[in-house]
Structure 1
Amino acid sequence: MVGSLDWTAAGGAGDLLAPPVAAAVGAVADARAAEIDPGLADTAAFCEHYGVPMEASANCVVVAAKRGGETTYAACMVLATDRADVNGVVRKHLGARKVSFAPMDDATSRTGMEYGGITPVGLPAGWPILVDEAVAAAPEVVIGSGLRRSKLLVPGKALAALPGAQVIALAQR
C-alpha cells in the first residue's frame, strides 16, 4: 500500500466519501479509501505527514472554459509533481477562447464536493475529465475523495476509464 494510511475498500466506506463520489465509486476498479486529518488535505502536507511520494499523488483541478459567451467546466488530473498546462493544452483541447481555474464557490457547488477534496470520481455527467498520460500510466495514485477528511487510492488506468475521461499530454514538467 501507499504511505502509512489504513486503506479499506472504497465501496464500503461511504462515510468517508462525498455523496456524488459514494454514488460513483463502485464503478472504479480496486478503489480504496482512507481517513486523514482534514488539516492535512493539501497535497504537500498530506504527502509529508503520511509518507506518500508526491509522484504517487494526483491533483484534480476544475477549470472553466469560455467561448462565445458560454462557460463549460472540465476536470484536469495531473501528478502532484506537475502542473496542468491550462492556458495551452487545456484551452486548445477544449476549443475555448479562455480557460481559468474555476472559482472555489463554483467548483464546490457544481461538484457537491469540498474544496481541497475534489476528485474526478462522481463529477457531473458530461464534464470532460482530462487525465495526464503519466497519471493514466501510474500503477496507483492517491486522489481526493470529495471530502477533506479522506483520500482515495486508485489505479491510474481506472481514472482513464471514467466516463468522459480523455488521456492527453496535459502536464508541464
Structure 2
Amino acid sequence: MPDPLHRVNEAAAARGLAIEVRERPVANSLPEAAALLGVHPSGIVKTLVVKRSDDTYLFALVPGDRAISWPKLRAVVGVNKLRLPEPERALEATGYERGTIVPIGSTHDWPVYADERIVGERIAMGAGAHGYSLFVDADALIAAYSATVADISQEAS
C-alpha cells in the first residue's frame, strides 16, 4: 500500500480535487493548531469515521470548534445507532490512523456527511499522516465526494 501522503495526493488528482499539503509541527490543542496553520479553529475540520450497526462506516466532517451531534447525524443518516469505532477498526476502515483520517484516499469509499458550516470555506484537515495538514476548498471536496450537507454539529462543551 502506498504511503498515506501519496494516497491522498493520488486520490485528490483522480477526482480533480486541488489540495495543498503542508508539513506542520505537532500541536497540543485546537487553538495551537489553528495558529500554526493561520486559520480560525472552525477552519480546521475534523474527519470522524463513524460506525453503523451493520459494520459499514461513514465520514462526518465537523468544524474543529464544534462537536458532532449524534441525534442530528442519526436523523440525517436515517439510523438509530451510530458510534465511533475503536482506533484499530477506524484504521481498518480507512487505512488511516486516528488524528490523520480524511476521506481523500481512504481505502474504502464510505459516504461523506459534511456539516453545513463548512460550505463556502477553504478548510484545513488531516492529510493521512501525522505532522501534515491539507487545505482544500470545502465546496470542491463536497462535490468530489457527493457529500450530504446538513446540520450535524453542536457547540463543543
TM range (shorter): 0.7 to 0.9
| TM-score where L is the length of structure 2 | 0.85
Q: Which moved more, 1:120-129 or 1:151-160?
A: 120-129
2:12 is equivalent to residue 25 of structure 1: yes
- For residues 42 and 116 of structure 1, the distance between their equivalents in structure 2, rounded to whole angstroms, comes to 12
1:1-173 → structure 2 map (5 Å cutoff): 17-26=4-13, 27-37=15-25, 39-40=26-27, 43-66=30-53, 70-86=54-70, 88-138=71-121, 140-173=122-155
Contact kept in structure 2, 1:61 and 1:77, CA below 8 Å = yes
Contiguous gaps of at least 5 residues in structure 1: 1-13
Q: Number of aligned pairs?
A: 153
AA in 1 matched with 2:58: A
Deviation of 1:123 after TM superposition, in Å, equals 2.7
Q: Any idea what the Cα deviations from partners look like across 1:69-105, whole Å, max 9, x if unmatched?
A: x22200100111111112x121122222311112111
| TM-score where L is the length of structure 1 | 0.77
Contact kept in structure 2, 1:41 and 1:116, CA below 8 Å = no
- For residues 151 and 48 of structure 2, the distance between their equivalents in structure 1, rounded to whole angstroms, comes to 15
Deviation of 1:28 after TM superposition, in Å, equals 4.9
Q: Any idea what the Cα deviations from partners look like across 1:49-88, whole Å, max 9, x if unmatched?
A: 444320221111111111xxx22200100111111112x1
The 4+ residue runs of structure 1 with deviation greater than 4 A are none
The secondary structure found in structure 1 opposite 2:134 is strand
- How high is the sequence identity, in percent, across the aligned residues? 24
